[in-house]
Amino acid sequence: MLPNSLFKKPLNALEGSEWYNKVTSKPFVPNDLWIKCPSCKSMLLSSDLEENLQVCPKCRHHFRLNARQRIAITVDEDSFQEFDKDLLSKNLLDFPDYTKKLKNARLSSGENESVICGTARIGGHACALSVMDSSFMMGSMGSVTGEKITRMFEYATKNRLPIVIFTVSGGARMQEGIFSLMQMAKTSGAAKRHSDAGLLYITVLTDPTTGGVTASFAMEGGIILAEPKALVGFAGPRVIEQTIRQRLPQGFQRSEFLLEKGFVDAIVPRGELKETLARLIALHTKEEGQ
Among 105, 137, 163, 172, binds other proteins (CB under 8 A): 172
28 or 257: CB nearest other proteins: 257
Pairing state of beta strands 115-122 and 81-83?
antiparallel
Contact (CB, 8 A) for 168 and 206? yes
Q: Of the listed pieces 9-17, 33-41, 186-194, 276-284, which binds other proteins according to CB under 8 A?
A: 186-194
Partner from other proteins, Zn ion, none binding residue 107, C-beta < 5-8 Å depending on class:
none
16 or 198: CB nearest other proteins: 198
> Site residues for other proteins, window 189-218 (CB under 8 A)?
189-193, 195-196, 211-212, 214-218
> Site residues for other proteins, window 230-289 (CB under 8 A)?
232-235, 239-240, 243-244, 248-249, 252-253, 261-263
Q: How far is the CB of 182 from other proteins (least distance, A)?
A: 4
Q: Of the listed pieces 56-64, 69-77, 131-139, 143-151, which binds Zn ion according to CB under 5 A?
A: 56-64
Contact (CB, 8 A) for 204 and 226? yes
Q: Of the listed pieces 10-18, 38-46, 82-90, 121-129, which binds Zn ion according to CB under 5 A?
A: 38-46
Q: State yes or no: residue 185 binds other proteins (CB under 8 A).
A: yes
The helix/strand/coil state of 255 is helix
Among 146, 149, 223, 230, binds other proteins (CB under 8 A): 146
Q: State yes or no: residue 37 binds Zn ion (CB under 5 A).
A: yes
What is the DSSP secondary structure assignment for residue 287, as one 8-state letter? P
What's the residue count for the chain?
290
Q: How many other CB atoms are found less than 10 A from the CB of residue 281? A: 23
53 or 232: CB nearest other proteins: 232
Q: How would DSSP label each residue in 159-207?
A: TT--EEEEEEE--B-GGGHHHHHHHHHHHHHHHHHHHHTT--EEEEEEE
54 or 180: CB nearest other proteins: 180
Among 54, 130, 150, 276, binds other proteins (CB under 8 A): 150
Partner from other proteins, Zn ion, none binding residue 253, C-beta < 5-8 Å depending on class:
other proteins
Amino acid sitting at position 24: T
Pairing state of beta strands 81-83 and 125-132?
unpaired
Angle at 102 between CA 185 and CA 206, to 5 degrees: 55
Q: How would DSSP label each residue in 82-122?
A: EESTT-----TT--TTHHHHHHHHHHHHSSSSSEEEEEEEE
Q: State yes or no: residue 183 binds other proteins (CB under 8 A).
A: yes
Q: State yes or no: residue 61 binds Zn ion (CB under 5 A).
A: yes
The CA-atom distances, in angstroms, between 134 and each of 74, 110, 160, 264 are 17, 12, 29, 21
What is the DSSP secondary structure assignment for residue 156, as one 8-state letter? H
**Interface with other proteins by CB under 8 A: which residues?**
87-88, 90, 92-93, 95-96, 143-144, 146-147, 150, 172-186, 188-193, 195-196, 211-212, 214-220, 232-235, 239-240, 243-244, 248-249, 252-253, 261-263
